[in-house]
Amino acid sequence: MPYGLYAAHGFISAHLAEQTGFSDDDLELLWAALIEMFEHDRSAARGEMTTRGLYVFKHDLKLGNARAYSLFEHIQANRKEGVAVPREFADYNVFVDGKEMQLGASREVVPGVTLERKA
C-alpha cells in the first residue's frame, strides 16, 4: 500500500499568548497533544496516521527573528533515492540543513532562532 507523508505548520503568537494567559505549561501540553494526537483518536478515515516529527522554532524576540517561510526551508523531507513508490516512513529522509537531527536535539538555525526536535 502506498505511504503518504504530510507536513503541517503551526504558529503561536507571543502577543496573543500574553493577552490570554497562555503559559509555558500550556505550551508543553500542546506539544504533547500534537505528538500523541492520533494515538487516542483512531478512525477508519485516518487509518494508522501518527506524528513522525515535531520541529519547534523558538524566537528570542516577540515579533520574531526570522520569517516563517525562511525557517521552514531548513527542514527537508524527501523520498530516498531509488524509491519510486514509498511504502513506509523509512522510505524518506528528513533532514535539517542536510543532516539528520536527533530527538531532543536543539540548535540555533539563524541568529536568535533555535530549532528543537520534540518528536
**Residues 103, 119: Cα–Cα separation, whole Å:** 6
Greater model confidence, 93 or 44: 93
Q: Compute CA 83 distance to the chain's CA centroid, rounded to the nearest angstrom.
A: 24
Q: Is the pLDDT of residue 47 over 90?
A: no
SS (H, E, C) 56-111: EEEECCCCCCCCHHHHHCCEEEEECCCCCCCCCHHHEEEEECCECCCCCCEEEEEC
* pLDDT value, residue 6: 93
Q: What is the mean pLDDT of residues 33-57?
A: 84
- CA 84/CA 65 separation, integer angstroms: 39
pLDDT (tens digit, 9 = 90+) per residue, 74-115? 999 999 999 999 999 999 999 999 999 999 999 999 999 999
